[in-house]
Amino acid sequence: MAIQLSFLLLLALLQFPTHISTYPVSDPDAVAEEVNRSIRNATDAMRDSRFHSCKTGNPIDDCWRCDPLWYKKRKHLANCAIGFGKQATGGKYGRLYVVTDSTDNPANPKPGTLRYATIQKRPLWIAFARDMVITLRAELMVSSFKTIDGRGSSVHISGGPCITIQFVSHVIIHGLHIHDCSLLDGDRGSSSDVLDALGEVLDGDGISVFGSTHVWIDHCSLSNCADGLIDVTYGSTAITVSNNYMTHHDEVMLLGHSDGFVRDKGMQVTVAFNHFGEGLIQRMPRYVQTELVVSTLWYKFNLYTGVDPSR
């Protein structure tokens, strides 16, 4: 067993150079200025109502929402991110996969289910055939070059384990309702051996980004999970978290693993246009050794701690 765990630890650490260490932006101030410039341009376009009556001043939304045929051009969304996660391509260069089956079988994922799509090795743009509630039976491990696009349907992931983005790159999560996430007794998901080797466990986050790069989380609603709503840790970088609506939770968003974890010093995360709503307590967000671009946050009700640095 010791040999097996040592091998898993080595395997996990070997993945870091591929996904992590080669991507820090040398001039983060330029990224911050680009974000601010995109917001100024979007605001100017909104004010010019003669030509842009549908504009909102949000550069992400204005990039695609004004097109009434957006659903025929879903992959254009990949061009709309801002900040450090702007280069996340998700499944832009892959086929469209439509989820038709809301069931989940981690041991034998069926074609048509969400899990079947997320474990594929090829790029995929994942959409949904209809409104659905998906109760996962194990943590949903999302592989590289995937977009999970909930636009056009009301898609809830709730009542079980939720989403983990672990040691991968180029993932986009958009438009999901993620709530009441927990761990099933005796089942910590398919990543537990690797995390055990690293001294970590899955702990019931809504979305966990762990040792990954080029990730964009946009327009999700999150509430009432066993641990964090969105945790970005273990040296993850090139991340944008935008336009999310978060309510009814204690430790909301953590950016960074711990004060003593060296790889966190390379983390670069943009947090923009997020709504921190009612029933929240702390970590909105909390960042540890992370270069952070924060723009336009809304806070409402029960605010105990907002942006919370840990140095």
Catalytic site positions:
283
Report which of 207, 200, 211, 233 is spatially closest to residue 18, judged by C-alpha positions.
211
Selection from 138, 181, 178 nearest residue 154 by Cα = 178
DSSP readout, 157-176? EESS--EEEES-EEEEEES-
Residues with Cβ within 8 Å of 156's Cβ and at least 6 positions away in sequence, in order, are: 132, 133, 134, 176, 177, 178, 179
Q: Let me know: does 141 contact 120? Beta carbons within 8 Å.
A: no
Residues in the chain: 311
Name the residue among 231, 306, 250, 251 with its Cα closest to residue 275: 306
Q: What is the DSSP string of 238-249?
A: EEEEES-EEESE
Rg (CA), the chain: 19
Query: Distance (Å, rounded) from C-alpha 112 to C-alpha 135?
Result: 15
For strands 146-149 and 169-174, give the pairing: parallel
